[in-house]
Amino acid sequence: MSPRIIQIAANTFREAVRDRVLYNLIAFALLLSGAAIFVGQISIDIERLVVVDLGLTAVSLFGVVIAIFIGIGLVSKEIEKRTLYTVLSRPVRRWEFIVGKFFGLAGTLVVNTFFMAIGVFGALFYVAHKFSKPDALILVALYFIVLEFLIICSLALLFSSFSSPLLSAVFAFSLFVIGSFAEDLRGFAGLAHGVTRWFATAAAYLVPNFSALNVISAAAHEQPLSSQLILHNTLYALFYTAMALSGAVLIFERRNLK
């Protein structure tokens, strides 16, 4: 990998840190400890379930919001402010810029998720006083959440490469919401007829399948997850991310800067 990609990624991470993105961890910690103390008091054997369900959902939502809000500005803001001029007039290829930005944002989210995961396990220990074997499922759920972030980062970047931050945010949030119901959408598509069926199926398979990546409830209820699912989800997320990033590169390669 070209050193420039790492340099651009590192600078993107530094920007996020300086923009106080990691401060969201404070809100997360408050939310989680509040919840843990609360369920600790009512204690009717569902503490673990509540903490895991609520904790992981918060990890996912916080991350999605960050991914979208940073992602949508990554390219368009640099074009708008003209900070790109002095970057692209160096031996930086345009695709390296996109890929570097992606890794910078993805890295920010991984670090953020890491701290949140510590919080979730801390809260879990607080209410359950021990760790048990099914807690490993939480790691799988967290891994899937990170995969979800990769897809969202790449989509936000894709939108950012051709539209304004506001429109990009709308697109990205819509896709996040629709994608969360992707399985239902596929089901509906199967019920339709004719051309409608054709279009509905295409749409259902085109949107990112976030429902398959959401195993929060399974982790909370200690239902086992197959290794096949892990493999399948990994390949799916990497493929989807690569496609979205390629789209972003293709668009950005042709773009006239303002």
Partner 1 sequence: MAAIEILGLEKTYMVGFWRKRPKRALQPLHLTVEEGEIFGFLGPNGAGKTTTLKMLMGLVFPTSGTARILGHEWTDPEIKAQIGFLPEQPYFYDYLTAHELLDYYGQLSGVPAKDRKRRVEEVLQRVGLTDIQGVQLRKFSKGMLQRAGIAQAILHNPKLVFFDEPMSGLDPLGRREVRDLMEQLKQEGKTVFFSTHILSDAEALCDRVAIIYKGELRGVGAVEDLTSTVQGKVEVVWQGTQIPASMKALGAECHVTGDTVRAVLAENQQDAAIDALRREHIRLIAITPLRTSLEAYFVEKLQPSQAASAGKTVGTAV
Nearer to partner 1, 94 or 197 (CB): 94
The closest alpha carbon to 160, from 256, 225, 249, belongs to: 249
| By CB under 8 A, residue 77 contacts partner 1 | no
Q: Which residue has the tokens 């396990």?
A: 121
As given in the structure block, the two tokens for residue 231 are 């493999």
Residue 158 Cα to chain centre, angstroms: 14
Residues numbered 86 to 105 that lie near partner 1 (CB under 8 A) are 86-93
Residues numbered 118 to 157 that lie near partner 1 (CB under 8 A) are none
Q: What is the DSSP secondary structure assignment for residue 75, as one 8-state letter? A: T
What angle separates helix 47-71 from helix 24-42, to the nearest 10 degrees? Answer: 170
Q: How far is the CB of 154 from partner 1 (least distance, A)?
A: 23
- Amino acid letter, residue 66: I
| By CB under 8 A, residue 85 contacts partner 1 | yes
- Exposed/middle/buried for residue 258 (C-beta within 10 Å: 0-12, 13-18, 19+): exposed
* Residue of the chain from 1, 202, 221, 254 that contacts partner 1 (CB under 8 A): 254
Q: How far is the CB of 131 from partner 1 (least distance, A)?
A: 40
| By CB under 8 A, residue 53 contacts partner 1 | no
* Residue of the chain from 30, 34, 83, 238 that contacts partner 1 (CB under 8 A): 83
> Under a CB-based contact definition with an 8 Å cutoff, are residues 150 and 67 in contact?
no
| By CB under 8 A, residue 19 contacts partner 1 | yes
Residues numbered 187 to 206 that lie near partner 1 (CB under 8 A) are none
Nearer to partner 1, 91 or 194 (CB): 91
| By CB under 8 A, residue 15 contacts partner 1 | yes
> Under a CB-based contact definition with an 8 Å cutoff, are residues 70 and 108 in contact?
yes
Nearer to partner 1, 18 or 130 (CB): 18
**Distance of alpha carbon 234 from alpha carbon 172, whole angstroms:** 21
Where along the sequence are the contacts to partner 1 (CB under 8 A)?
3-4, 7-8, 11, 14-15, 18-19, 81-93, 254, 256-257
